[in-house]
Every structure is written in C-alpha cells, then in structure tokens.
Amino acid sequence: MKHQTLRHAIRLAVTGVPLLAFSVLADDQNVERIQVVGQAQSYTVDQSSTATKTPTALKDIPQAISVITEELIDDQAMQNMSDVVRYVPGVQMQQGEGHRDAPVLRGNTSTADFFLNGVRDDVQYFRDLYNVKRVEVLKGPSGMIFGRGGAGGLINRVTKQANWTDGHALDLALGSWQQQRASADLNHAVNDSVAARVTALYEDSEGFRDYMELKRQAINPTLTFKASDATTVALSYEHFKDDRTTDRGVPSLNGRPVAVPREQFFGKPEDSNSDAVVDAFGATVSHDFGNNITLTNTTRYADYDKFYGNVFPGAVNAQTQRVSLAAYTSETLRTNLMNQTDLVIQADLAGMRHTMLTGVELNRQKTDNQRLTGYFTDISATATSDTVPLANTIYSGSLEFRPSATDANNHSVAKTAAFYLQDQIELDQNWQAIVGLRYDRFDAELLNNRTSAVLDATDNLLSPRAGLIYQPSQDLSFYASYSLSYVPRAGEQLASLTVSNQALDPEEFTNKEIGMKWELGSGLNFTTALYQLDRTNVAVTDPADPTRTILVDGQQVRGLELEMAGQLSQHWQLVAGFAYQDSEIQTPTAQNGNRLAQVPKQSFSLWNRYHLNDSIAAGLGWVAQSSGFATTDNSVTLPGFGRLDAAVFYSLSPQLRVQLNVENLLDKTYYASAHNNNNITPGTPRAYRVGLSYKF
C-alpha cells in the first residue's frame, strides 16, 4: 500500500501535465527480446556484471550505475552514444572535434573510457547501437575492476550474442535530411549445442548542418557452442566502418555562440572528413567446475584504422566580421590484444556468504599516429591560417597538408599486466560489504619518428575499492563507498609522454560516495547518489619558477544524482534523471576557482511511454540543463536549454510495429556541446524519423 501511494505521489510530482508512454515486452530471463502487443515491460534490469565482474543485483552494488535498456533504445530510436547519455544523470557529451565520442563523466572528459562486454575499446571513433543489448554507465573511478583510466566513470556496451532462443528482426528508418538506415538481427539455434547470430547495419544519411554526410556499414556474426555440459565457448567478429563529414560547429563572439543559422558550416567540406574502420575478434570460454566455482577467459583482438581531416573555425574579429580558419589531418593505427581470466568462487566461510573474484589481465596495445598541419598556400607556403567573412564561411582556396615542427609522428607500445582480488561478503541478513584491490604494472614506450627519441615510463598502480551496504528490507539499500583510479602520463590515448612528464607520478582520481537504491515494486526503481570526486597529481608550471613542473590538486566535483526508471502502472513506463554538479578548478593558476568545461550545475531528463490500447501508444520526453562554459577559462557561456521530444507507436500485428519519433518538437534553438571556445555544436532542429520494425 505504501508503494502504491508513493507511486501516485511520484506521478504527480514528476508530471505537471499528462505524459504519454508506450510499452513493449522485453527479455525473457535476460535472454532475448520479443515484441508483443499490449504487454508492458519496464526500462530496468535486475542485475549487472559491469561493476563487479560477477552477476550482481543492482541494489547490491555500492556505486551509481545507469542501465539504458534495449527497450528504451528502441522506443527513442537511439543510434549513438550521445543519444544514450542524455538519460544518464551526471554525464554529458562533448563535441569530440566532430570525429569521436567524448563523454564528460562527473566532470571528467574522456575519449577512451569505453568498454565492449567488459573489455577495453579505447580508440577515438563514433560507436553505433546496431548490435547493442544494453549500455551500462558506471559512475565514479573504477580502477579496481578496469585498471587505468575511468577517471569519472566508464561506458560499457553489452552486445547481442548467439543463444538458443530463435528470433529474427529487420528494422528500417527514414528521417529528416535524407536519413536512410537499415539493420538486421538474425538469431538461430542450429541444434542443442550450437547457436549462431548475425547483426548488421547499413546507413546513408545527411544532416541538418550544410555539407554533412554519413555512411556506415557493419556486420557482427557470433557463434556460441557447448563444448560440454560444463563448458561454453562464444566467438564473435565485427567489421564496422564509419565515414562522415568532420564538423566542428560554430565559433563564439562576445562570450556566446556566434549568431548564424544553425545549418551554417565553417571550413572546407572536401578536406573535412573522418573515416574509421574497426575489425575485432573475440572469444570467451566459460567453464563451470561445480560447487559454485566458475572460470572465464576472454580474448579480444581489435585492429583500428582511423583518419580524420578538418578545416575548423577559430576566433571571430568583431570589427571586420571575419573568422579565422586552421586545418590539420591525423591518422591513427592501433592494434589491441586483450586477455582477461576470472575465477569466481562462492562459499560460506565463518558464517558469512562470500563471492570471491580473482583475476589476471594481460594487454598489449601498439599505436602509430601522425598529424599533418594544413598550409593555406594561396597566402604563402608557410601560412597556417586564413580568414573568411561570417557571411560566407566556406573556404575555397588551396590547402596542402605537410608536417610542421610541432606535429606528432609517433610509434608507441603500451603493456599491462594486472592481478586483482575482490570479495563480496554477506555479513548477515542486513549488511553486505565489498572489498577489492588491483595491482597494475603499466609500461609505455614512445618512439618519436621525427627525432628518433625514445621515451618510456613504468607505473605500478594499486587501486583499492571498499563499499558497505545496509539493507533494512529486501527492497531498500543504503551504501557508502570509496574508489580510486589512475591516468598515467602516457595519457588515455597512449601518446602523451614527454621529456618533462615521463618521470611524474600518474594523476589520481578519488571518489567518495553515499547513496540509496529503492525497488518500489512492480518494476519501478529509484536511486540516489551523493559524491565527491577529487583529481590530484595534476602537473602545472610552478608559478614561482616557470622552469619547474609541480604536482597539485587539480579539480573537485561534488554532486547529487537522482534516477528513477520502470513501471508506474501496467501501461505507463518512464525513465527520469536529475543531476546537480558543483565543479571547481583547484590549481595555482589564473583559472583557480573556475567551473569545469561543459558541466552544467543542473540537468534533467524525463521520458514516458503510455499504452492507449493494445495497438496504439505514445511517448513524451523532456531534456534540459542549465548554462555552462565551453572551456575552463569560463569566457564563453553555453546557454541553458530545454528540449521536448515525442513519439507515436502503432502495432499492426504482434510482429510488425511502425513508429514516428520527433526530436526537438518545439524547434528550440540551443547549443548541444563544444570542444573549445570556437568549436560549438548547435542542437538539432525539429527532426522526424519513421521506423518500421518486423520481428519474425
């Protein structure tokens, strides 16, 4: 009765107007999704392995974690990571220079804290959701589980794997600005021992920005077979190709984004393109020894070929009304070889239940990177910039790309050898604890091909984690936790070693957090987290001696996150989130006391789905955030905004669904993200997308 009353109270508090929703039947025991008209399934999951490497109920994880399910992805027609993080409290998405995913997790920007089924996937490119079952966002440092990086959190994609539930799906989408997209998901049980699956994607689209083009192709076959009653082997291969126009948005003027049409492109389109090709092979072998002992070994080999070129805007001259342009190209070739072995033992010891994890991780990453500066040869052989009028920002002159004195041409090899221990302890019926420690030996070597200089650094990293959980009832948890992560001087992209920093200690990120997780019944979950995340060992120039580099405390973020997801009634589903982030630079520099880049103090998201009858449903959502700053100098403001989205769904049969999604229904002008003060991305105008989904 209390839960029912609370749900009605939440309904009134969250919605000042009637909000609509739609519902779909989802995973049967987390195996596979089958859409059935008239049945409801919440936007929630019961457990995750991302935070602990063991299947753990979300209420037993002493850390904030947000899960974007396949149902929510489908209902909102999400296609990329920017779509996903809109509904994750405490996470924003930077522009990424128009060629890469770049989330801001609790104030910390990253281009490398991405994982695929728990294995590192750290190259700079745009990821798609065509083969994704769910996306799990773990917030706060997680060095004990994942090693280096993860300063503010990480994003783990869980992909669709071959299993013994037959099911096939074809999805087509047509949208504004010539969007054309098709995907397929074919899963088949060959026999009792073998299952095969193929997911695939093709997209050919334009965008609301002038000259924007996007082409994507992908295929991901997987094979699962039972080698014995106790041993399962899962194999996968993925080929993914993303080819697009590199667009770095608009510059600023007088501390705000410059007032030009949203579609106006700055630069030279034919020299602004990005091409990423990923070929990856994965193998997972799991063996059950019985007596609650399991062993899992995962190997992933991935080859990345990434190129991008860009001609991009700089500062605007207010008097002449001209904007400067610069240009460069960058090519990255990387091969990742990752191996993880995990042994999980469940046992009763000293009157307490233990889930013990011990594991070994061995990684080798080889990277070649070359950058070339663009020279504007119509001016001179050495000119590295030119200007164009704000009235016509397309550059039509000649460009030549060749190395400058400061361009990179590096070969690097990074090796990781790690060992970790973790124990999840049920102290009694009300108390649980989790303790863990990881040791990483991280070796990085960088060869400067231009000078033949070799730099190397070795870090021995100890990453502890501790959490305590109190559960006064089965559906309510309170927790407190402490965690630590490191970012070595090689940087997240393994190419940042210099003569001056190779001997410095790595940066440290420490998270202290308390929170509550409440299962309100009928598939509705409410979570809250209060945290303080400190960044230390930041290298800065000594104000008293410019020839010296010193390590200082760098920044602090204090925040509150609220999240609710699930089922308010048989016909009404929702997901909602709110974040308050108080960020501050803490260095002996001119920026001391400033706020962090692109970290709004307040952000809010809400999506509803409501069944009108067995065939027709609708959705309504709101995304909003307060103002922020493009960079840490706080000289350019990104105005706050609110955006309304909507959807209508019609099921012609249990197998066939048609849906219409409308993004930015009221056609508000806003600025979604930035890379710096003069690379600011306008938000999408009103956009339509029609989707057809056939399950058979």
Residue 523: which of 71, 12, 18 has the closest Cα?
71
Q: Residue 337 is encoded by which pair of tokens?
A: 């070889």
CA distances (Å), 219 to each of 128, 231, 494, in order?
12, 27, 28
- Cα(490)–Cα(18) distance, rounded to whole angstroms? 52
Across the chain, mean pLDDT equals 93
Count of all residues that appear for the chain in the document: 696
pLDDT band at 548 (very low <50, low <70, confident <90, very high): confident
Nearest residue to 52 (alpha-carbon basis) of 122, 135, 146: 146
Q: How confident is the model at residue 535 (pLDDT cuts 50, 70, 90)?
A: very high
User: How far, CA to CA in Å, does 358 sit from each of 53, 418, 655, 691?
Assistant: 10, 11, 44, 45
pLDDT above 70: residue 36: no
Structure tokens at 218: 């992908």
- For residue 42, pLDDT over 90 is answered with no
Which residue type does 590 have?
A
Q: What's the CATH number where 467 sits?
A: 2.40.170.20
Please tell me the predicted confidence (pLDDT) of residue 1.
40
200 contacts: CB under 8 Å, gap ≥ 6:
130, 183, 184, 218, 219, 220
pLDDT, tens digit (0-9, with 9 covering 90-100), for 228-256: 999 999 999 999 999 999 999 999 999 99
Paired tokens of 545: 């001696």
Q: Is pLDDT at 370 greater than 60 in this prediction? A: yes
What is the structure's pLDDT at 545? Answer: 85
Q: What is the DSSP letter of 70?
A: H
Q: How confident is the model at residue 430 (pLDDT cuts 50, 70, 90)?
A: very high
How far, in Å, CA of 625 to CA of 616, rounded?
31
What are the start-end ranges of the H helices in 355-463?
none
Rounded alpha-carbon distances, angstroms, from residue 558 to 439, 487, 517, 580: 28, 20, 19, 8
478-525 pLDDT, tens digit per residue, is: 999 999 999 999 999 999 999 999 999 999 999 999 999 999 977 899
Rounded CA-CA distance 570/566 in Å is 10
Joined tokens for residue 330:
């960058």
Specify whether the CB–CB gap between 113 and 156 falls below 8 A. no
pLDDT band at 541 (very low <50, low <70, confident <90, very high): confident
Cα 85 to Cα 82, 510, 577, 686: the distances in Å are 6, 23, 11, 20
- Cβ contacts of residue 444 below 8 Å, gap of 6+? 412, 413, 414, 415, 456, 457, 458, 488, 489, 490, 494, 497
Listed in sequence order, the residues at least 6 apart from 104 whose beta carbon sits closer than 8 Å to its beta carbon are: 91, 92, 93, 94, 110, 152, 597, 598, 599
* pLDDT over 60 at 651, yes or no: yes
How far is residue 64 from each of residues 115, 513, 528, measured CA to CA in Å?
Answer: 17, 9, 8
* C-alpha span between 461 and 107 (Å, rounded): 23
d(CA 100, CA 112): 10
User: Phi first, then psi: what are they for 74, rounded to 5°?
Assistant: -70, -45
* Residue 184 vs residues 163, 168, 169: alpha-carbon distances, Å: 16, 8, 6
Q: What are the beta bridge partners of residue 663?
A: 687
Owning domain of residue 566:
2-695
304 and 332 Cβ atoms separated by less than 8 Å: yes
Please determine, for residue 90, whether its predicted confidence score (pLDDT) is greater than 90: yes
Write down the residue that tokens 């996903």 correspond to: 84
Per the structure, the count of domains in the chain is: 1
pLDDT digits (tens, 9 = 90+) for 9-29: 333 333 333 332 222 223 333
Average pLDDT of the segment spanning 182-202: 97
**CB 69, CB 46: distance < 8 Å:** no
Place of tokens 């091909």: 449
CA distance 427 to 434: 10
- How far is Cα 431 from Cα 512, in angstroms, rounded to an integer? 19
Residue 143: its pLDDT value, please? Answer: 96
Amino acid letter at 38? G
Positive or negative, the CA dihedral 306, 97, 443, 369 is positive
Over pLDDT 70: what percentage of the chain?
A: 94
**pLDDT for 549:** 87
Report which secondary-structure segment, H or E, holds 75: helix 70-75
Q: CA 219, CA 238: separation in Å to the nearest integer?
A: 6
Q: Report the alpha-carbon distance of residue 249 to residue 194 in Å, rounded.
A: 49
Residue 265 in this model has a pLDDT that exceeds 50: yes
Closest by alpha carbon to 367, among 395, 322, 324, 331? 331
pLDDT one-digit tens code per residue, 555-610: 999 999 999 999 998 899 999 999 999 999 999 989 999 999 999 999 999 999 99
State the residue for tokens 């397309």.
394
pLDDT at position 298 over 50: yes
pLDDT at 15: 32
In one-letter notation, the amino acid at residue 630 is A
Q: At 41, is the pLDDT very low, low, confident or very high (cuts 50, 70, 90)?
A: low
Q: What is the pLDDT of residue 544?
A: 82
Residue 108 scores a pLDDT above 60: yes
Contact 40, 567 (CB under 8 A): yes
Mean pLDDT of the region 22-47: 45
The larger pLDDT score, comparing residue 31 to residue 509, is at 509
Look at residue 543 in the predicted model and tell me its pLDDT.
Answer: 84
- The answer to whether 527 and 520 are in contact (CB under 8 A) is no
